[in-house]
Chain A
């Protein structure tokens, strides 16, 4: 490994994550950006949510940006993590760790089964089918046939069963660290996965599925791998989500939730790890803070026709998203990478210097 590769692969990401770990110790206020001091529970909760959504956006990017699978049902697996872990703890009175292992097991199996079925179709039909499965999950959570999810009320977690470190306002900093640790975990797992040899095939499928087939590989199996890994990581993120909000609400089951993940990834830059993470963080932050902008005195002074859209964060974010699709393909990461070789060429450059790696040659 060259010195530069060590720097890029380990030193920079680890440095960023370690630096972020000191955030709860900062007792400073940044006016305008945050209402309270950085170390206050409210701000830490928001920052934790930003990091968690950054991680969840990255899990989505694994199948969308790196494998080319446009799923509209990613929320199903997040919701599974959010709800099933909580149901096992609160409704069935299981211990925390058993509940988590069970949830992860169910998510893994469900991802294999549903992935197998929905990957029988490709492209847009895949998007619709995943959406339908997610909708079934959303209906199940809403109608609540077994009185487990409590429908629209949501299900507050039985805090006596949760690890004490994650309960109570005083421990918000621990939740922040949990979200950060999860982000770091997802980041390194995703990097390991896409640099593994199946990971190279995923990216080849994204570029040209037929060519992969011609090379004698079965795209279906590789796509399923990516889908299952991404969905299982999403379910793990769901458990963190449940802890962060100490309960489960229907918001995570809505198909719109997957669409917001898509927005995050595209705004940040699909097919880029930092891009997806940054998109998730930025989106979550803006979604929270734009509400404050909407109710600020500057906006209230505006005429109604201007004020109404400004009060709706999703309207602004949706508009930003459309503008990015039009004028900035590659998202935020695309700006940073401008002038550098494109993704595919970069991939080849990393393959070539190591003659021992018999990678399938993609001609440019």
Chain B
């Protein structure tokens, strides 16, 4: 029982990261028809910026928790700025050339990983977090590492904020309408391009949060970490349905829990295979995902 509880909560922690990455990917794809491969770079930006500023910029701050929070905040800001710049400089000039936009993000992702290796080396760096995060809390006999709670709470908060933003604000309305029918939004005289930069920035922040959390979860940051998380986020996006935040949230949990349970009860690595199998089954049964708009209809 306690093992099951531990597995479940760990699965939720992992699912939280998948969701954070997938929500941005899904929004960007839904609005712009761009599969953003550079999302892996956004994850790394968040993780590395936090890791670096914690050690260099905020080394004078005495409180461990405050130092970490400040560094994480810097990570998010840098992640947002980086993502917005990518949209402005690399994506916008290729307007309506969807395949070329994908290619550019692929090139960026590869070049960025190479740059990280060049600057900080190929080895993973240990990620310093407040010690409380690595202590455990006893829940019904299961010793749950505290960082799991933080991951779950953060993802839940981001989900709530995103939904609030999308449902209650004017820009959220434009984005939702744009996902439904971009041509119509433009026909109504709304400059949808501002929304493009905005969703990239939002996606960048969410990915940076995922990057920081991945540092907490794995205790390290490495150049390839973003890429490997990204692949499962892709699976989540397809299963959840492209363009749907709620679908991504559900799919993230399904994928992460399936992975955790099978990796533990069957054997390590089998969970990853089962997830891919799940993807195949979903595609055969429901090519549009749980809650999706027409998958691939735009590309």
A, B: real partners: yes
Choice from A121, A255, A308 contacting B227 with Cβ under 8 Å: A255
Choice from A118, A122, A318 contacting B114 with Cβ under 8 Å: A318
Q: Which of B102-120 contact A (CB under 8 A)?
A: 102-104, 106-115, 117-119
Size band of the interface chain A makes with B: 35 or more
CB-CB under 8 A from A312, the residues of chain B are 114-115, 117-118
Contact of B269 with A132 in the complex, beta carbons under 8 Å: no
Contact of B93 with A132 in the complex, beta carbons under 8 Å: no
Contact of B287 with A319 in the complex, beta carbons under 8 Å: no
Within the complex, the shortest CB–CB distance from A114 to chain B, in Å, comes to: 8
Known: A117-B283, A256-B227, A309-B115. A127 touches B276 (CB 8 A): no
Within the complex, the shortest CB–CB distance from B298 to chain A, in Å, comes to: 7
Contact of A319 with B299 in the complex, beta carbons under 8 Å: no
Within the complex, the shortest CB–CB distance from A214 to chain B, in Å, comes to: 17
**Chain B 260-297 against A: per-residue CB contact (8 Å), 1 yes, 0 no?**
00000001111011011101100110010000000111
Contact of A263 with B283 in the complex, beta carbons under 8 Å: no
Asked if B90 CB lies within 8 Å of chain A CBs, one says yes
CB-CB under 8 A from B35, the residues of chain A are 124, 127-128
CB-CB under 8 A from B117, the residues of chain A are 312
Contact of B102 with A70 in the complex, beta carbons under 8 Å: yes
Greatest chain A CB density within 10 A among B107, B235, B267 is at: B107
Contact of A314 with B113 in the complex, beta carbons under 8 Å: yes
In the complex, the chain A residue whose C-beta lies closest to that of B106 is A259
Contact of B276 with A132 in the complex, beta carbons under 8 Å: yes
CA distance A143 to B266 in the complex (A): 13
**Chain B 97-138 against A: per-residue CB contact (8 Å), 1 yes, 0 no?**
011101110111111111101110000000000000000000
Asked if A123 CB lies within 8 Å of chain B CBs, one says yes
Size of B's binding interface in residues, CB under 8 A: 51
Contact of B111 with A318 in the complex, beta carbons under 8 Å: yes
CA distance A120 to B94 in the complex (A): 28
Asked if A31 CB lies within 8 Å of chain B CBs, one says no
CA distance A131 to B279 in the complex (A): 11
Q: Which of B221-271 contact A (CB under 8 A)?
A: 227, 231, 234-235, 237-238, 242, 267-270
Choice from B111, B242, B273 contacting A136 with Cβ under 8 Å: B273
Known: A255-B227, A315-B115. A145 touches B104 (CB 8 A): no
Within the complex, the shortest CB–CB distance from B95 to chain A, in Å, comes to: 13
Interface of B toward A, CB cutoff 8 Å = 29, 33, 35, 90, 93-94, 98-100, 102-104, 106-115, 117-119, 227, 231, 234-235, 237-238, 242, 267-270, 272-273, 275-277, 279-280, 283-284, 287, 295-299
